[in-house]
Amino acid sequence: MDDEGFRLPKEDDRSAGDGTRCVHAGLPEPTPGAPFLPGPVFAAPYHLDPWQGPAAAPNGYGRPDNPTRRLLEAAIGELEGGDCRVFASGQAAITGLLLAVLRAGDTVVLPADGYFPVRAFATDTLAGNGVRVLFAPTAGPYPDFTGVRLVLVETPANPGLDVVDLPALAERAHTAGALLAVDNTTATPLGQRPLDLGANLVVASGAKALTGHSDLLLGYLATRSAPLLEQATAWRTVTGAVPGAFDAWLAHRSLATLDLRLARQTANAEALARLLAARPDVTGVRWPGLPDDPAYPVASRQMRRMPGVLSFDLGGAERVARFLDAARLVGAATSFGGLHTTADRRAQWGDDTPPGFVRLSCGVEDTVDLVADVTAALDAAT
Ligand SMILES: *Cc1c(COP(=O)(O)O)cnc(C)c1O
């Protein structure tokens, strides 16, 4: 088995459709008698060649080396259009990037409205390490990037779903000598290819729509820069935030259906966004695919498909609870991107959102059933 994985030739990468690319991503060359996707390799140490030691084979010890993980990295790398390293979680990938790249005295720009634990990490740990931390709202305005080492954006941002024009921001960052990293969790590599849009790095949680079954934690980083890849790899090897072989295998198995899952999730999000926007008892509906959403002009230009996540406000915590209690197809749960439709009142986690603010993640249920259920639950909650 070629454990570096089967890569579609470059020209196929561009011409094949999303479904085709997902099904084939990272698979080894067909070998008679071998499975399509090899099962997980469980190993801490591997047998070594007594004479050559670790130089003889790519697998010496499980922290740096695992063939199941390498196949998953080949797969995600193909979809993002760069080289990939997977981590134990999205937070491991994002904090790893920040800690590996930033030194005392450096300045970093982070989203003011992005994933809350990243902001908490920046004010607690990064600032404590002597890094200057600036926050900018995803939709702007952004500060002057002179003297900035790294700009990290989330687009669409979780949970507010604002977007930023990536080619324009990349140009500004690069003119100032800053690196641009994009958190691609909400979009997934099928929704948006930040490396094609000028970003130096992609980071993301693989626990959300990328793998979509609500059964694993995963993070990744992707880049076309050999030095950045080397830095991230060295960081991961010494800090050890690697996913286990079984989770890596499950993630790869789930990746094959990404195109199908997203297609249904986007269709469901569109139907629910229209339903919610038309109701007088729901305010602040945000979905970047709605033509009158503030994010629509940029999102429709740079995104290849719209996310299955939307947000809105039901006015208070109690009404959200009544809605969730009445809904039969909307599970009360955090996270998003899974097969089952879920909704989360973000303020219950200490996120700085209004008490009635809801992030709703569309699953792959039939659209007609979901629309009927959400309508009935909202009626019951009024
Ligand atoms: C969930 C999430 C993360 C963190 O990922 P984990 O896998 O939970 O560590 C980071 N960024 C965004 C946008 C997320 O939604």
Q: What is the CATH number of the domain that holds 268?
A: 3.90.1150.10
Report the C-alpha gap between 157 and 196 in whole angstroms: 19
Nearest-CA residue for ligand 1 atom 8 is 90
- 353 with 311, same domain: the answer is yes
Q: What is the pLDDT of residue 133?
A: 98
Residue 4 in any domain: the answer is no
pLDDT at 382: 87
Closest to 244 in 3D by CA, of 44, 29, 14: 44
Q: Cα–Cα distance between 349 and 352 in angstroms, integer?
A: 9
Q: Give the strand order in the sheet containing 283-286.
A: 283-286, 309-313, 357-361, 342-345, 331-332
Q: What is the CATH number of the domain that holds 171?
A: 3.40.640.10
CA of 154 to the centre of ligand 1 (A): 10
151 plus 242 within the same structural domain? yes
Q: Tell me the β-bridge partners of 133.
A: 108
Question: Do both 240 and 363 map to the same domain?
Answer: no
Q: Select from 206, 239, 255 the last residue of a domain.
A: 255
- Whether 300 is in a domain gets the answer yes
Say if ligand 1 is within 6 A of residue 344 CB: no
135 shares its domain with 161: yes
> What confidence score (pLDDT) does residue 185 get?
98
Cα-to-centroid distance, 210 and ligand 1 (Å): 11
**Is 131 found in the same domain as 15?**
yes
- How many whole angstroms separate alpha carbon 237 and alpha carbon 224? 19
pLDDT at 1: 36
Do 295 and 368 lie in one domain? The reply is yes
Indicate if the alpha-carbon torsion angle 17, 18, 23, 27 is positive or negative. Answer: positive
Quickly count: other Cβ atoms within 10 Å of residue 39's Cβ: 11
Give me the number of domains the chain comprises: 2
Whole-number Cα distances in Å, 137 to 68, 207, 299: 38, 24, 16
The CA distances from residue 254 to 41, 261, 266, 304, in Å, are 17, 10, 18, 20
Residues in the chain predicted with pLDDT less than 70, given as ranges, are: 1-14
- 174 and 264 share one domain: no
Tell the residue nearest (CA) to atom 5 of ligand 1. Answer: 90
pLDDT given at position 127: 97
The CA R_g of the chain, rounded to the nearest whole Å, is: 21
Rounded to whole angstroms, the Cα distance separating 370 from 350 reads 29
Tokens of 300: 């429709």
Listed in sequence order, the residues at least 6 apart from 277 whose beta carbon sits closer than 8 Å to its beta carbon are: 285, 290
Which residue of 153, 158, 163, 218 sits with most ligand 1 atoms within 8 Å of its CB, as the best mutation to test the pocket? Answer: 158
Residue 176, helix vs strand vs coil: coil
Residue with tokens 């290819």: 193
The reply to whether ligand 1 has any atom less than 6 angstroms from the CB of 221 is no
Residue 2 lies in a domain: no
255, 280, 313 - which closes a domain = 255
Question: Is any atom of ligand 1 closer than 6 Å to the C-beta of 91?
Answer: yes
Give the domain-ending residue among 212, 231, 255. 255
> What's 35-93 look like in SS3?
CCCCCCCCCCECCCECCCEHHHCCCCECCCCCHHHHHHHHHHHHHHCCEEEEECCHHHH
> Are residues 176 and 290 both part of a single domain?
no
- Give the domain extent around 55: 10-255
Taking the C-alpha atoms of residue 255 and residue 110, their distance in angstroms, rounded to an integer, is 29
Q: What is the pLDDT of residue 13?
A: 59
Predicted pLDDT at 351: 86
Confirm or reject: Cβ of 217 under 6 Å from ligand 1.
yes
Same domain, 269 and 237: no
